[in-house]
Structure 1
Amino acid sequence: MPMPSTHPPLTRRQRRRRYVVRRLRGALLVVAVLAALVLGDHWGLFARRPTSDPVTYDGKTFTVVRVVDGDTIDVDVPDKRRQATRVRLWGVDTPEMARRDRPGDHFAREATEFVEALAGNKSVTLHLEPGRRTRDNDDYYRLLAFVILPDGRMLNRVLVETGHAYADPRYPHHLRDEFLRLQDRARQARLGLWKTVTQDDLPYYWRNTLDLDPP
Structure 2
Amino acid sequence: MFIWLDHSPIRRKWQRQPKSEEQRKAYDFEKYHAKTFTVVKVVDGDTIDIDIPDGNNNHTRIRLWGIDTPETKNPKLGVMYFGPQAADFATELTLRKNVTVYLEKHRTRGYYGRLLAYVQLPDKRFLNKVLLSEGFAYADLRFRHNSYNKYKQLEASARSRKKGLWEKVTRDQLPEWLQRMKPNLRNK
TM-score tier, shorter chain, comes to 0.7 to 0.9
Q: Look up the SS of the partner of 2:129 in the other structure.
A: helix
Residue among 58, 70, 75 paired with 1:95:
70
User: Which residue of the partner structure matches residue 42 of structure 2?
Assistant: 67
After TM superposition, the score normalised by the length of structure 1 is 0.71
User: Which residue of the partner structure matches residue 185 of structure 2?
Assistant: 211
What is the correspondence of 1:72-151 to structure 2 with a 5 Å cutoff?
72-100=47-75, 102-129=77-104, 131-132=105-106, 135-151=107-123
C-alpha RMSD of the superposition: 1.7
Residue among 140, 164, 167 paired with 1:192:
164
Task: In structure 1, list runs of 5 or more residues that go unmatched.
Answer: 1-49
User: Which residue of the partner structure matches residue 141 of structure 2?
Assistant: 169
Return the offset for 1:161.
0.6
Is 1:57 the counterpart of 2:57? The answer is no
Partners of 1:60 and 1:101 lie apart in 2 by 35
Q: Look up the SS of the partner of 1:178 in the other structure.
A: helix
Partners of 1:198 and 1:122 lie apart in 2 by 34
Q: Look up the SS of the partner of 1:54 in the other structure.
A: helix
Partners of 1:81 and 1:176 lie apart in 2 by 32
Partners of 1:99 and 1:161 lie apart in 2 by 24
Aligned positions, number: 162
Partners of 1:138 and 1:172 lie apart in 2 by 12
Identity, % of aligned pairs? 43
Aligned residue identity for 1:95? P
Is 1:155 the counterpart of 2:136? The answer is no
Return the offset for 1:211.
2.0
Return the offset for 1:106.
0.6
User: Relative contact order (alpha carbons < 8 A, sep ≥ 6): 1 or 2 greater?
Assistant: 2
After TM superposition, the score normalised by the length of structure 2 is 0.81
Q: Look up the SS of the partner of 2:43 in the other structure.
A: strand
User: Which residue of the partner structure matches residue 20 of structure 2?
Assistant: none
Q: Could you tell me whether the CA contact under 8 Å between 1:98 and 1:105 is conserved in 2?
A: no
Q: Could you tell me whether the CA contact under 8 Å between 2:171 and 2:187 is conserved in 1?
A: no
Partners of 1:122 and 1:159 lie apart in 2 by 17
Partners of 2:56 and 2:71 lie apart in 1 by 23
Segments ≥4 residues shifted beyond 3 Å: 98-102
